[in-house]
Amino acid sequence: MKTSRPDPASQHLWRPYTQMKTTPAALPVVSAEGVRLRLADGRELIDGISSWWTVCHGYRHPHIIQAVKDQLDRVPHVMLGGLTHDPAERLAARLAALAPGDLNHVFFCESGSVSVEIAMKMAIQYWINQGVTGRTRFVAFRGGYHGDTIATMSVCDPDEGMHSLFAGSLPRQIIADLPVDADSIARFETLLDTHAGEIAGVMTEPLVQGAGGMKFHAPESLQAMRQACDARGLPLIFDEIMTGFGRLGTMFAAEKAGVTPDIMTVSKALTGGTLPLAAAIASKRIFNAFWSDEASAALMHGPTYMGNPAACAAANASLDLFEREPRLEQVAAIERAFARRLPSARDIPGVVDVRWQGAIGVIEMAGLPALDSLKADFVEAGIWVRPFNNIIYLMPPFVICDSDLELLINTCLAVTRRWAGQHFTGV
């Protein structure tokens, strides 16, 4: 029986990655425009992280908003089981044209984690459909993050990631060091040979490991993976959920590395941060393993809301903006601003590394004590920045103007310097 004690509505909402008993109250957002969030108390915050890396065109871009409204007036949703619609058909064709190499076959779903699960199922069933059994495990890498579902947690870093609590409940994968030099490449190849017959595929975030710590690696690492997989016939999966759609200065990180995977997952900025949508995009080689007269060879997955028409309309409008507006040039401008201003952070107490690539700027600390107070300091200074683990990072919307970008970077540096002076005395 419910008690009569007042129970604020906020207590009913279970928030992500949050200890609900001890967390500070969430900040109510009443409107958003461009790069700014307006709070219920009238304060405005420059969004320095693009709402978990999604809002590449800024909030409420009129072209995307109008496209969604128009689609809602026609068909808000229809299942793709036995039916189809133009927004999904058109979006699939455009993604196939944009994606590198022969990544031509697009399977839609609602979230990035699920797209990675689908990619894993594709790889496992790829072998099954060829009469090969036992290939059910994946090689993934320390520092990696691929999602929050049971299967995707299993390919995250088992020690540094947020999912170690579930270690005993997860499928047992093969976690390797990134191949970054001759010795680690040799160890990687040996590992593939040691587990030959077990491996369904190799999974990685190309060039930047995001939620695992914003760790960068060189294109040569991806090239080594590609060569090793090719030599053994293994599917290579790129998780481009964070890096896709311009974040590193090319539409996909794969292009920057000159490497084409067999399966690529995308989400986050796909709709410009407007509606949930994700996809696993497969090569002709992968797709052909499912092309059969046998019903059992079909890909065994079917999200109810896959290819939602309104979400597809948002994604098509987002791709319009990449074609019409200078998004990649804007990313290059953000990178130049990071190169000018972020190096000054190296003399802040507690800083162990400063790095940037494309529209990602990172200040790595020896630790983040009093994390809640640091977050509150950023808000008080008028910016929305969400440090995690030992990382303070900026990933602003691509459309941020020069003055707002300078304000964002300078404020972030000033707050970090002041806070670090309080918590890293003598460092």
328 token code pair: 């990649």
* Known catalytic residue at 293: no
Residues comprising the chain, all counted: 427
Rounded alpha-carbon distances, angstroms, from residue 110 to 51, 114, 312, 365, 390: 17, 7, 11, 34, 30
CA-CA distance, 357 to 247, in Å (whole number)?
Answer: 9
The count of C-alpha atoms lying within 13 angstroms of the C-alpha of 141, restricted to the half-sphere facing its C-beta, is: 31
94 token code pair: 């455009």
Task: Write the DSSP symbol of residue 137.
Answer: E
* Known catalytic residue at 69: no
- Answer yes or no: are the C-beta atoms of 318 and 272 closer than 8 Å: yes
Q: Parallel, antiparallel, or unpaired for β 36-39 and 29-33?
A: antiparallel
Query: Chain-centre distance of CA 47, in angstroms?
Result: 17
* Known catalytic residue at 268: yes
- Answer yes or no: are the C-beta atoms of 289 and 126 closer than 8 Å: yes
State the catalytic residue, choosing from 7, 17, 69, 284.
17
The count of C-alpha atoms lying within 13 angstroms of the C-alpha of 402, restricted to the half-sphere facing its C-beta, is: 5
- The SS3 assignment for 132 reads coil
Task: Write the DSSP symbol of residue 26.
Answer: P
Residue type, 53: W
CA-CA distance, 155 to 260, in Å (whole number)?
Answer: 20
Neighbours of 406 (CB within 10 A): 14
For residue 34, which phi and psi values (nearest 5 degrees)? 60, -115
State the catalytic residue, choosing from 47, 148, 239, 404.
239
* Known catalytic residue at 347: no
Cα angle 330, 332, 338; round to 5:
105
State the catalytic residue, choosing from 59, 126, 145, 393.
145
Residue type, 188: F
State the catalytic residue, choosing from 126, 157, 256, 268.
268
Q: Which helix (H) or strand (E) holds 72?
A: helix 62-74
- Answer yes or no: are the C-beta atoms of 269 and 276 closer than 8 Å: no
> Could you give the residue ranges of the DSSP H alpha helices within 179-278?
182-194, 219-232, 253-257
Query: DSSP states of 296-335 as a string?
Result: GGS-----TTTT-HHHHHHHHHHHHHHHHS-HHHHHHHHH
Give the catalytic positions in this structure. Answer: 17, 145, 239, 268
